[in-house]
Amino acid sequence: MIIAPSMLVADFARLGEDAKALEDAGSDWLHWDVMDGHFVPNLTHGALPMAACREYSSLVFNAHLMISEPLRYLEGFIEGGADIIAAHIEAEDDAREFLEAVRDAGRRPGIAISPDTPAEALAELLPLLDLVTVMGVHPGFAGQEFIEDTVGKVAEVRRMIVESNRDVHIQVDGGVDTENITRLCAAGADVIVSGSFVLQHPEGYATAIRQLRAPE
Ligand code: DX5
Ligand code: ZN
């Protein structure tokens, strides 16, 4: 199972050090939550903080673009060293065009779907994807309550991927903790994003990641 802590909950006064600490604690990817204050009711950052951390970490950088115009800003994430770049299927830009642009740049493309979007919306895009991000919360903020219907949606996406005979990651993003991670992996998720559970864990990042990998 791939663990991808969300940098949204990191210490923005020491982002590079936090990225290194998360790597040393056993993270596989770093998840960068990009929000434009338009597609979601929150404004975080563009590519700059991620680009600034690139030299501090050899982990996979997974950019999650919660923005209306992912095509307009894509170049900054490519230049900034993002390895996997996902945009929302609900964004204004054409998803197919976005996915092709990411692939043409030699990076790995993904699509995120919000809780109100059915899994079927992905069907035609599956041949273009390396990653599907199934949101466990409504995008915009860390620390929200997990939406239980997410488990069924993950199983539905996994069924679609198996049927398409393609090798696509299923990432769950939002509200993941030791209480729901087992159900999510059993349903077919293989990448887990965690903001609050890992970065606000009282016993530190390494313990939090160990607990996610082997919940009691
Ligand atoms: C929400 C973000 C998630 C969130 C994860 O819009 O995409 O990555 O920050 O944080 P937790 O794990 O606290 O829900
Ligand atoms: Zn995210």
What's the CA gap between 151 and 168, in Å, rounded? 17
- Over residues 39-90, the pLDDT tens digits come to 999 999 999 999 999 998 999 999 999 999 999 999 999 999 999 999 999 9
Q: Catalytic residues, which ones? A: 33, 173
Chain centroid to CA 45: how far?
A: 15
Cα(172) to ligand 2 centroid in Å equals 9
| pLDDT tens sequence across 118-154 | 999 999 999 999 999 999 999 999 999 999 999 999 9
| Burial (Cβ within 10 Å: 0-12, 13-18, ≥19) of residue 26 | middle
d(CA 148, CA 176): 10
| Buried b or exposed e, range 152-161, using 16+ CB within 10 angstroms | ebbbbbbebb
- Percentage of residues of the chain with pLDDT beyond 70: 100
Residues shown for the chain:
216
What pLDDT digit, counting tens, does each position of 30-50 carry?
A: 999 999 999 999 999 999 999
How many Å lie between the centroid of ligand 1 and the Cα of residue 31?
9
| Residue of 67, 196, 199, 205 to test ligand 1 pocket, by largest number of atoms within 8 Å of CB | 196
| DSSP one-letter code for 186 | H
Residues with CB under 6 A from ligand 1: 6, 8, 31, 33, 64, 66, 137, 139-140, 142-144, 173-176, 193-197
Q: How confident is the model at residue 216 (pLDDT cuts 50, 70, 90)?
A: confident
Question: Taking the model in full, what pTM does it have?
Answer: 0.98
What is the amino acid identity at position 123? A
Q: Residue 40: how many CB atoms within 10 A of its CB?
A: 20
